[in-house]
Amino acid sequence: MKKFRSQMSIGIICVLLGFMISYQFKMISKQSAAADTNKNSPEIITENEQLKKSKDEMQKKIDELDAKTKDYEKAALGRDEQSGLIYKELEETRILTGGTEVEGEGMIIYITPKSNVFGSSPEDQLINDTDLVHIVNELNAADAEAISINDIRLTSRSGIRNAGNAIIINDERVSYNKRITIKAIGKKDILLSAISFPGAIPQLLSQTCDISMEKSNKVKILKYNKAYKFEFAKPIEKK
Amino acid sequence: MVAFVGLLIGVILGIVWNVDIPVKFSPYISVAIFACLDSVFGALRGSISHNFRADIFISGFFGNAALAVAMVYLGDKLGIPIYLAAVIVFGGRIFDNFAIIRRLLIDKTKSH
């Protein structure tokens, strides 16, 4: 009787052990399957390629149309003095809204993430959205006239924030563990001294990244490619 | 024999039965499995050297598993991976037991 009972208990324990092992196996394989579906599938990659291609084509179309409007404006410019003044104002507004490519003296900041030898994963976020916001704010305070990050023009309505595994600026993605180039047009000495001032570049960023900067007499900043839409803001008519 | 039949029933049960254990308990189950494996190896060694006692086996099986799970929980709360201690100890003991089982089996076959 005693032997039977001990045999029974061993059997029950083995049932338990087998159940736990197979259940755990099932769980782990389920987890890894779930992780796989989240990874980039080839379909997404090809779709991405196609979208990139169509983006390039559309960009070409935009450039053509821009050239056309430039022609019309030039034609209007010759007519009289008034149209000349309007044209000048239009150009200034364009610079302000980022509607045209601009060039001039300024500075370039390179933020290069340090490759860390000691094991931390490549998915570590080395550059934060707030770091970029801080630097851009510093540049604006130093009277920068135009700023771009990785050739994405910053306008008065640009937001810089983390989303997913990238930093999103004007709906474009900037990888946070690759080199980021910030260009600014303005008086180069003032810009440089503002950025070199202690605290202008966040301390954490200077620990995780190599930051170099240079003055330049010819910085070129590309234009902002989207149309502004004002749905809510309406000008107030003064009586 | 009973052990193998039990193990088989358990495996089938685990595959077929869709019981919902929350995912966050997954590490606990892993460590508990390790503790149980240790007990099973201990039992195997005991049965080969003819000093197997069911009560010790059963109490060890549940006691080890409970202690290991408690360690994982404590480590989770304190922020130290204490479960590593459980894994190392149980792993070491499994190898020890296996070494003794090996020796006993080889001696047995030689003496025949």
What are the extents of the domains in chain B?
A: 22-111
Q: Which stretches of chain A are DSSP H helices? A: 2-38, 42-77, 81-97, 129-141, 188-196, 203-208
- A78 and A108 in a single domain? The answer is no
Question: What is the per-residue pLDDT across A16-51, written as a single tens digit (0 to 9) for each?
Answer: 888 888 888 887 787 777 666 655 677 788 888 889
A212 lies in a domain?
yes
Question: What is the per-residue pLDDT across B45-82, written as a single tens digit (0 to 9) for each?
Answer: 888 888 878 788 888 888 888 888 888 888 888 888 88
Bridge partners (DSSP) of residue A148 are: A153, A183
- A120 and A196 in a single domain? The answer is yes
Q: Is-contact A175 A95, C-beta < 8 A?
A: no
Number of independent structural domains in chain A: 2
- pTM tops 0.90, yes or no: no
- Would you call B6 an interface residue with chain A, using a CB distance cutoff of 8 Å? yes
Helix (H, G, I), strand (E, B) or coil at B55: helix
Strand pairing report for A146-149 and A152-153? antiparallel
Range of the domain at A186: 104-221
A10 lies in a domain?
no
- A108 and A217 in a single domain? The answer is yes
- A113 and A184 in a single domain? The answer is yes
- A84 and A150 in a single domain? The answer is no
- A208 and A138 in a single domain? The answer is yes
Residue A170 and residue A223: Cα distance in Å, rounded?
A: 12
- A60 and A138 in a single domain? The answer is no
CATH number of the domain bearing residue A114? 3.30.70.1880
- A114 and A76 in a single domain? The answer is no
- A61 and A162 in a single domain? The answer is no
Residue A216: which H helix or E strand, with range?
strand A209-221
Cβ A17–B8 below 8 Å, yes or no? no
Nearest by Cα to B18 from A136, A19, A212: A19
The mean pLDDT value for B37-46 works out to: 85
ipTM for this prediction: 0.76
A44 lies in a domain?
no
12-51 of B, contacting A, C-beta below 8 A:
12-15, 17, 19, 21, 23, 26, 29-30, 32-33, 36-37, 40, 43
Comparing A165 with A213, which gets the higher pLDDT? A213
